[in-house]
């Protein structure tokens, strides 16, 4: 019996939002970046960024106050808005590069994967309020693309990690009192994945439209009004 797992963490049907104030001037159809000639639309990056922003508001707003988005709170030389925008865009770039290299690892989304992605998309749209969906910029097109990319990333990560060296010797174990065979293998798998992703990013032809990226704004402030117990979803099916 083969087990298939798509790890889709963070958002499907687990958050409800209201929009407190503000309205962005974002054109979701604008190209915010290209990766090897493939366009990334601003609407996708905005959706992912607003979900991150909601998490930041939940945990940091009470500490830093309402001006936190335009302040360098982490000492990186960037405002929190700039930091979240860039992190979100880099994540999207990575996901599209992983899609580009799926054939290298004989990875593909099958009918079961597509059905799960459709299910997550429907659940997300049904479980969030109209106001919340508007605040997030959660057009069905971008919601589905978000989950599709997450599924690709999960399957590619598993395939890449499977190529890591899993031979653990007594000498390996002796290097640290806390080391176990499982921890050594997990570390090697993580390092292998990071190595491959960094190589993809380094070799890719990536262009960014900073003007479009800067239109992603967090000054509308999202407030969580309902948070069910499970804040993540990991779906497994068996054949």
The pLDDT value recorded for residue 13 is 40
- Of 129, 48, 141, the residue nearest 92 (C-alpha): 48
| Helix H or strand E segment including 147 | helix 140-161
User: For the whole model, what pTM was predicted?
Assistant: 0.81
- Tokens encoding 149: 């990319």
User: Residues near 157 by Cβ (< 8 Å), separated by ≥ 6?
Assistant: 98, 193
The pLDDT value recorded for residue 58 is 66
- The band of 22, judged by pLDDT with boundaries at 50, 70 and 90, is very low
Q: Is the pLDDT of residue 220 over 60?
A: no
- Of 4, 19, 30, 76, the residue nearest 53 (C-alpha): 19
The pLDDT value recorded for residue 66 is 67
- Average pLDDT of the chain? 82
- The band of 96, judged by pLDDT with boundaries at 50, 70 and 90, is very high
What is the 8-class DSSP label of residue 41? E
Q: Specify the pairing of strand 233-238 against strand 3-8.
A: antiparallel
Segment 217-232 shows an average pLDDT of 47
Buried b (16+ CB within 10 A) or exposed e, 83-119: bbbbebbebbbbbbbbbebeeebebebeeebeebbee
Q: Is the pLDDT of residue 82 over 60?
A: yes
Task: Name the strands in the sheet holding 206-208, side by side, starting at the edge strand that comes first in the sequence.
Answer: 38-41, 31-35, 206-208
The pLDDT value recorded for residue 81 is 87
Q: What are the two backbone dihedrals, phi and then psi, of residue 49, each rounded to the nearest 5 degrees?
A: -70, -40
The pLDDT value recorded for residue 236 is 34
The pLDDT value recorded for residue 136 is 86
So where are the chain's domains?
8-157+206-228
Higher pLDDT, 47 or 23: 47
Segment 10-17 shows an average pLDDT of 42
Q: Is the pLDDT of residue 159 over 90?
A: yes
């Amino acid at each position: 019996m083969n087990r298939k797992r798509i790890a889709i963490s963070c958002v499907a049907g687990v958050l409800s939002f209201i929009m407190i104030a503000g309205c962005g001037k974002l054109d979701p159809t604008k190209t915010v970046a290209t990766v090897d000639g493939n366009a990334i639309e601003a609407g996708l990056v905005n959706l992912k960024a607003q979900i991150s922003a909601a998490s930041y508001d939940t945990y940091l707003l009470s500490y830093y106050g309402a001006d936190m988005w335009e302040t360098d709170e982490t000492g990186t030389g960037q405002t929190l808005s700039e930091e979240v925008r860039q992190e979100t865009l880099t994540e999207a770039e990575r996901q599209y590069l992983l899609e580009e290299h799926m054939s290298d690892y004989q990875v593909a989304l099958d009918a079961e994967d597509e059905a799960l992605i459709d299910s997550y998309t429907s659940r997300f749209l049904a479980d969030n309020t109209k106001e919340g969906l508007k605040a997030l910029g959660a057009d069905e097109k971008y919601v589905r693309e978000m989950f599709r990319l997450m599924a690709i990333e999960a399957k590619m990560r598993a395939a890449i990690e499977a190529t890591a060296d899993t031979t653990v010797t007594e000498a390996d174990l002796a290097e640290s009192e806390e080391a176990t065979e499982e921890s050594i293998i997990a570390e090697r798998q993580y390092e292998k994945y990071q190595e491959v992703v960094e190589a993809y990013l380094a070799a890719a032809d990536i262009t960014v439209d900073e003007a479009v990226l800067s239109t992603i704004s967090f000054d509308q402030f999202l407030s969580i009004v309902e948070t069910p117990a499970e804040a993540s979803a990991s779906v497994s099916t068996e054949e």
